[in-house]
Every structure is written in structure tokens, then in C-alpha cells.
Amino acid sequence: MLGSEKKDFRFKSESSGIRLDLFLQSKFKKLSREELKEIIHNGSVLLNGKPVFKPGCKLKETDEIAVSLSGSDDRAVEPRNIEFKIIYEDDDIAVINKPAGLMVHPLSRKDKTTLVNGLVFKYESLSDLSGPFKPGIVHRLDKDTSGALIAAKNNAAHLKLASEFKNRRVVKKYLAVVEGRIEYDEGIISKPIGRDKFKRMNMRIDDAEGKPAETYYRVIERLSFKQNSKIRPYSFLLLYPKTGRTHQLRVHMRHFGHPIVSDLRYGRNSDLISRQALHSYYLKLQHPVNGQVMSFKAELPEDFKNLLFNLGLQDYNLILDNYTSEV
């Protein structure tokens, strides 16, 4: 991370029309766009000698930009005693069972109740390659998705893990309960995913401009729930994403006609569970330092267990033992 002192940087715009935040992102490659927006909003950027507070301000050729960055003592994530379970840890990595409802990292200094706040509280050393708001973070889970997530305690481990994820050598298996009865026992959903042009926080199937995305599914159990004298069908699935697109599993299941139960963004609310029924159950990877192949399981949280119980599935642990082999 940056040192504890303030550091001042000066640049001159080489062209007209570029946004201020995008220009700064080209200069500070380790900082995310959200982090740079925060720096601008804090008045730490001068444009031709005057503070500028609009990230989207368009620069002119020869504009002079001055940036004052606080060191890690000022910009570090605030340590907070956040409750989470540790599946495994050593000097290089920590594997966490993230609770549902917990954001992985803050988007700005205003966010103080995230997994990263808890990691900073617990560990003296974490990697800093993802920027000051994401110490230790190599990959992420959605806020309302529970389960296994790996954090890096140093940069060497981070680099190796990032390469493993990028080259799709990390095996990730999720458990989900979806609406409806899926006919076939297994299959592959292969549809490109891109950002929704109207709802920018959402993703969608985009055959023209989307990035390739592939999800393998296997039906573990077909279940049902009686409500108001009607029998409603559900399917308990193993989901294995071969790629790692934002909201991939949620978008693919919606497209497949079987949205994840209680997914408010891509489906509908359900009385059976208060958040999307999606859990990162299994990770298999090569240890970034000693090279050992390791696998981890994240125990199901109580709300997911209650969901399965209400759908009539009580011996799920015995069933799940059959779904940790390579697929």
C-alpha cells in the first residue's frame, strides 16, 4: 500500500474529451475506478489549481492535474470485529465461509461493515494488489451469496491465485435451489453475458456483445412445497461455473427458466428464504506457495438448511458427499 505520508502527483492531459476518473485510472493502475471517485469527491484532485469534485469532468488538452494521495494510515480500511467462520488458514491464505448479507469489500470509506473490515481486524498482513479498499481479495461473492471464499495474506500468494482463477484452474461448485422442476438430470448452459444497457447494476444474456459464459448444472434432488393447497416444484442443484462472469449463475438460471429462489434482482421474492438460495459450497485449488492440491467445503448456513428441511430434504449431508468429485 501507499506509505504513511502524503504523496503528491502532477500530470498534464495529452488529449481532449477524456473523463477525469478514466484519465486517473490510466495513471494509478492499482486503484479501482470507485476508489478514484472517492479521492475526487474528497477534494484531493486539483484541475488547473482548483479543486474538482466531478469524476466525469471532461479534460482539455494541456490541462494540469494535481493529485494528493494519503498514505495507508489515512486510507486503510477500518478494522471491525466482523463475525465469519474460517475453514482453513496458514501463512499465505485464509479460506472463509462468508455469511449471506455481508459485502465482500467496501466501495468507499463510508462502508465499514464488510468482510474486508473483518479481515483487516483479524490479520496483520494481507495482499495489497487489489488496491486499498480490497486487501486480501482475489475473487468475490455477491453480498447475499454465502460460502467459501479465499483471501491472500501476501502479494506472492495473491499473484499465483489470481493466475489460477484467470486460467480457470480453480474448481468452484455452488449449491442452489431454483424454481420449477428441471427435466434433465444434468446439462450445460452456454450463453454470453453482458451488462444490461438500461439497468446498469444488472447483467443479462447478450448474444451480440456479451462475454462467453458457461455453467454446468446437475440436479441433486427434485423437491416440492405445498402452499395454499397448491404444490410448487423446486430443484436442488449443483452449479459449476466454468467461467467467472458477474452474476453468472443467477443470470443463466433465469435465462434457463428456473430462477434461483428469492433472487430479487433476477427472480422474485419467496417466503421460504429471505435471500437468494445460492451457496459457494466447494473450492479446489493448488496452494499458491507449496503447490499442494487442496479442497474445501463450506458448511451450509442455517437459512439454507431450513429451506431444504421445509422442502422435505433432511439427509442432505449424505447426498452432498457424492457431489465433490470432478465434473
Catalytic residue among 21, 128, 142, 144: 142
Q: How do residues 95-121 score in pLDDT, each as one tens digit?
A: 999 999 999 998 777 788 999 999 999
Q: Give the mean model confidence (pLDDT) for residues 198-210.
A: 93
Residue 1 has pLDDT above 70, yes or no: no
In a domain? residue 80? no
Strand pairing class (203-205; 85-89): unpaired
Pick from 263, 281, 277, 264: nearest CA to 309 = 277
Q: Quick count: other Cβ atoms within 10 Å of Cβ 62?
A: 11
CATH number for 64: 3.10.290.10
Where among 40, 74, 108 does a domain terminate?
Answer: 74
In a domain? residue 26? yes
Number of domains in the chain: 3
* Model pTM score: 0.79
Report DSSP state, residue 321. Answer: G
Residues 206 and 317 in one domain: yes
In a domain? residue 311? yes
Residues 189 and 315 in one domain: yes
Residues 192 and 224 in one domain: yes
Q: Residue 177's pLDDT is what?
A: 98
Q: Which residue has the cell 455477491?
A: 142
Residues 177 and 319 in one domain: yes
Where among 42, 74, 106 does a domain terminate?
Answer: 74
Residues 181 and 285 in one domain: yes
| Percentage of the chain lying above the pLDDT 90 cut | 72
Known catalytic residue: 207? no
With b for 16 or more beta-carbon neighbours within 10 A and e for fewer, the 214-245 pattern comes to bbbbbbbbebebeeeeeebebbbbbbbbbeeb
The parent domain of residue 126 ranges over 85-166
Q: How do residues 263-316 score in pLDDT, each as one tens digit?
A: 999 999 999 999 999 999 999 999 999 999 999 999 999 999 999 999 999 888
